[in-house]
Structure 1
Amino acid sequence: MADKALAGRFRGRGNPLQWWHGVVLGLVVAWLPGPATVVFIYWLPLLLLYVLEPKNEGYRATAALFFVIAAMTHPVRRIWDASGDWDTCTDVLLDPRNLIMDWGAVALAWLVSELTVIGLRLYRAQAQAAAIRRLQDRARVLKEEWGFEPIAPLPEEKTS
C-alpha cells in the first residue's frame, strides 16, 4: 500500500533519488578536481566498452569495472599519498604504464568474458551430445529388451 502511494506521489518525475547522483558528482568534482579527472580518464575505456557492447546490457562493463579498479590501485595510492595535488594527478595521467594497465585491464576483462561465453557454449554442446548418446543407448537397450526390430532407414528419394 505504501509503495503504491509513494509511486503515485512521484509519478511522472522519474526516480526521486536520481538527482542526488548529479549533486554528489558535482560536489566530488568541485572538492577533488584532480582525482575526479583521473577517475574519469581511467573510466573512459569502461564507457567505451559499455557504448560498444552489442546488446548494451552492461554485463561486460560491470565485469571490467573490477579489473579497472584493480589496475587503479597503485595510481590512486600515489594520489592519496600526495593528498590529491594536481602535479601527482598529471604525473599519474601522463604515465604511459598506467594508461596501458588501464586499457589492458578492460581488454583483459573483455577477453575473459568472451572466452567464458565460448567455453560455456562448448560445455553445453558437449553435455547435450552426451545426453543424446545416453538416450540413444537407453533406447537401444529398451528395443532389445522388448524385442522390437530395428527400423530400416527410409529410402532416399531420387531427384532428376
Structure 2
Amino acid sequence: MTSLVRRGQPMKWTHGLVCGAALAWLPAYSLLIGVLFLPLVIAYFTDTSRNQDMVRMMLPYEFAALIHPLHILWNDEGSLNTTISLLLNPMTSVVGWLSAGAGWFVLEMTLISAKLIRQYQTRSKKAEIAARLKEIHEEWTENPGMPEAS
C-alpha cells in the first residue's frame, strides 16, 4: 500500500509543476482553459463514484467547444486582452459550459437507454421462460397414463 502512495506522490508534483509552468508561460491560454473547463473540475470533485466516467464523457465536448476560442487566441498571439474579451463575451462561456452539459446529457441518456434495454430483454426472457414452463406443465398434465413423480 505504501508503494502505491509513494508512486502517486511524484505524479502530484509533476502535475503541479506542469500547471505552474502553464500559468507562468501561457497565462492567457491557462485562463481560457481554466474558465471553460470549470464544469469539468466541478464534476471531477463532486463525482461520488470516483470512476470519472462523467468527466471522460464531458471532455471531448469541452475540447470541441474550446477549438474556436483557442483559434482566436492563437491568431492574436496569445494576448491576455484577447482572453479577457473572449471571456467577457457571454457566448464563449455559455457554449463551453453547455457543451459540458451536452456531454453529461449524452452519458445520462446512454445509461438510461441501457437500463431500459436491459429491462426489456429481462422481461422478454422472463415471458419466454414462463411460456415454456406453461407448455411443459400442460404437456405433463395432458398424459394421464404417465406415472406421477412423488
1:26 equivalent in alignment to 2:24: no
**Paired residue for 1:133?**
127
- Greater alpha carbon shift after TM alignment, 14-23 vs 25-34: 14-23
1:15 equivalent in alignment to 2:15: no
Cα deviation digits, residues 128-147 of structure 1 (max 9, x gap): 00000110111122223333
Cα deviation digits, residues 23-65 of structure 1 (max 9, x gap): 2221111111111111111111111122233433321112111
Structure 1 residue runs of 4 or more that deviate by more than 6 Å after TM superposition: none
The one of 62, 68, 89 equivalent to 2:56 is 62
Separation in 2, partners of 1:117, 1:37 = 33
Separation in 2, partners of 1:36, 1:11 = 30
Unaligned 5+ residue runs, structure 2?
Answer: 144-150
**Paired residue for 2:94?**
100
Cα deviation digits, residues 64-113 of structure 1 (max 9, x gap): 11111111110011111111111211111111111110111111122221
Number of aligned pairs? 142
Q: CA deviation at 1:12?
A: 5.9
User: Relative to total residues, which structure has the larger helix share, 1 or 2?
Assistant: 2
Which amino acid letter does the alignment assign opposite residue 138 of structure 1?
R
The one of 68, 83, 91 equivalent to 1:89 is 83
Q: State the superposition RMSD in angstroms.
A: 2.2
Unaligned 5+ residue runs, structure 1?
Answer: 1-6, 150-160
Percent identity over paired residues: 26
Separation in 2, partners of 1:11, 1:45 = 29
Normalised by the size of structure 1, how large is the TM-score? 0.79
Which amino acid letter does the alignment assign opposite residue 67 of structure 1?
Y
**Paired residue for 1:156?**
none
Separation in 2, partners of 1:123, 1:136 = 20
